[in-house]
Amino acid sequence: MISIIIAGGSGTRLWPLSTTDYPKHLLQLTGQRTLLQSAFDRASKIGQTVYVVTEASHAHHVREQLPELDDDHFLIEPGRRGTAHCILLALDYIARHHDRQEPIAFIHSDHHIRDIEGFARSFAVAGRVSSERREISLIGIEPTYAATGFGYIERDGVIDAERGVSLVESFKEKPDHDTAQKYVESGNYVWNAGYFVGSVDTFLDEIAASAPDLQTSYDKLSSIAEHGSDDYKQAYLELDNQVIDVALIEKARGLSVVAASFDWIDVGSFKDLHDTVSQDEAGNYITGDDVYAVDVENAYIRSDDSRPIAVIGLDNIVVVNTPEGILVARKDVSPLAVTKSPMSDRMAELLAEALDHFEICVISGGRFEQFQRQVIDRLHIEPHRLNRIHLMPTCGTRYYRFDELENEWQMQYAEDLTDDQKQDIIRVLEESARELGYWEENPAGEIIEDRGSQITFSALGQQASPDDKYNWDPDGSKKAALRDLAAQSLPDLEVRAGGTTSIDVTREGIDKAYGMAKLIDAIDINRDDILFFGDKLQEGGNDYPVKAFGVDCIAVEGWEDTAARIEAIVAVVK
């Protein structure tokens, strides 16, 4: 069996331990080995052939951590395009270099598992079942409690009771506690660990039957002579962002699942991390120099920096001190969303350099104050260069330029909503969310935010982490349902999908394309002279109006991808 480790992710849920530059699978969190190295140890028990798929921005670190692997066993994504295309890239490589009938195990780099032998046995069973039945086989974890943070697989019909193999009936999203309790008590459900097993031909047969979009993507990649060539990279970057569960697994004609009982933790939060490490009699994990804890219980306290830490009289908390930053939070609260964090040093340097060659417009959903904090305060450039920057907060409903004489940012226009419109919008959004069962009683920040020219609904709260947002609505169906329902009650306003879990409402006809039209008028340029970077360019996404407006667009996935594109463009024009 061939093992393929998927080593990707945004690295934000365990900030400041993990970052977008150095995500959690690269860290020593549960022992002397990093999560990635531990995943390699497990993969080596499955079979002798191991590959790692990772994105270009992390490739150097991943290679450093796994010197056991030859260079051609690192499969590099030019840019992040979701797990579906990550798996296609791997399938294409295996098809070129191995027997297409040999089972492949796709495993994750950020899970914590102690029972390596049990892990290997489960995959051996899944490999045999997949080969026997010529279908994709999954690994499900027998639930030990009513977990609300995992998806569930419903079983229907035993294939082999002795080996714990069943047919897959359906997939269930993360349930509330009462529903999870019913799942566990029924005995028909296992946790969905996201493990898939099947040969190249098995995957491709299912793709041909159930996922025509993925078939088109695979045909495009496999037709290129050299895997990893410049042409290959360009073709990959032109793909959209798709999730394997939604794009293929949930559509499959037939699947089997192997019920496993090995210990398993998806290290997605500090609570999960705390559960994996040794604790003292008060339930505390404390590590680092100059850490003082008095009357503290159930705490995760870690210092990787020279600054002393004192924690007194607190319970159920996380305190993390690193050169990247300091986090103090309840264990059950996600860290600050990366989309609300200041721009990285690398991105700030690239933008400053790009200003020597281009005018730059930043258009996004936040307020002007957020733009100031995240972008402008990080640039450290001369005032005369600031007038080459155009700020369009709240998705183009407002426009700011820097006045060098007054030494301040001045508003050029504001398409503000009236007070009556705002009240109606807020009422409709809450009523619609409650009707659909999407209203979050314990949000991470504000759910509905009045931004003057735009009202924004964020399903999990403004400060939810990107990973939590993605897991809430991986295929965008919830957001679409909420948008459509709210639009019925707001016919004279623009109701559109915003970010991953957000709905934006503005005056009719005001969107990012409107902002681009205003920019063209303001600086007297042609539409063909604009190059737009967007991560929601698909139809229905909040960047799509710009594409429909006829502006040249480049699809990006995250700030690292954007930075790489800007760096390449600047290198050409220097």
| Total Cβ atoms within 10 A of residue 22 | 14
Pairing relationship of beta strands 2-7 and 104-108 according to DSSP bridges: parallel
Task: Judge contact between 193 and 280, C-beta under 8 A.
Answer: no
- Cα angle for residues 54, 105, 65 (degrees, 5° grid): 35
- 474: amino acid identity, one letter: P
Write the CA distances from 478 to 249, 431, 436, 466, 493, integer angstroms. Answer: 19, 15, 9, 16, 20
Q: What is the pLDDT of residue 448?
A: 95
Which two structure tokens, joined as six digits, stand for 40? 């390699």
CB 30 within 8 A of CB 351: no
- Domains for the chain: give ranges and CATH numbers: 2-138+195-253 (3.90.550.10), 270-330 (no CATH), 339-415+510-573 (3.40.50.1000), 419-507 (3.30.1240.20)
Choice between 565 and 109, residue whose per-residue pLDDT is larger: 109
pLDDT grade for 471, boundaries at 50, 70 and 90:
confident
Report the pLDDT value the prediction gives residue 565, as an integer from 0 to 100.
Answer: 85
- For residue 11, what pLDDT is reported? 62
Predicted TM-score (pTM) of this structure: 0.67
* SS3 state at 387: coil
Contact assessment for residue 495 and residue 487, using Cβ atoms and an 8 Å cutoff: yes
Average pLDDT, the chain: 90
Nearest CA to 530 out of 564, 553, 555 is that of 553
Given this model, what pLDDT does residue 220 score?
95
Alpha helices in 197-296 (DSSP H): 200-210, 212-222, 230-237, 244-247, 270-276
Q: Give phi and psi for 382, each to the nearest 5.
A: -70, 150
pLDDT digits (tens, 9 = 90+) for 53-109: 998 888 999 999 999 999 999 999 988 888 999 999 999 999 999 999 999 999 999
Q: Does residue 239 carry a pLDDT above 70?
A: yes
**CA gap 498, 483 in Å, rounded:** 10
Query: Mean of the pLDDT values across residues 527-545?
Result: 89
End-to-end CA distance of the chain: 48
And the tokens for 362?
A: 């930043």
Single out the residue of 346, 181, 353, 156 nearest to residue 256, CA to CA. 156
Pairing of strands 360-363, 49-55: unpaired
The strand pair at 531-534 and 552-555 is best described as: parallel
Alpha-carbon span 138 to 353, nearest angstrom? 48
The token pair at 144 is 């030990």
Structure tokens, 130? 């997949």
**3-state secondary structure (DSSP) of residue 413:** strand
Average pLDDT of span 431-436: 95
**Hey, what long-range contacts does 551-554 have (CB within 8 A, 24 or more apart)?**
551/513, 551/516, 551/527, 552/528
7-49 pLDDT, tens digit each:
987 666 788 888 877 888 999 888 889 999 999 999 999 999 9
Render pLDDT for 279-333 as a digit per residue (tens, 0 to 9). Answer: 999 999 999 989 999 999 999 999 998 889 999 999 999 999 998 888 898 886 6
Pairing of strands 2-7, 49-55: parallel
Whether 338 shows a pLDDT value over 60: the answer reads no
187-219 pLDDT, tens digit per residue, is 999 999 999 999 999 999 999 999 999 999 999
Report the length, in residues, of the chain. Answer: 574
Lowest mean pLDDT among 134-143, 180-189, 342-351: 342-351
The per-residue pLDDT for 340 is: 57
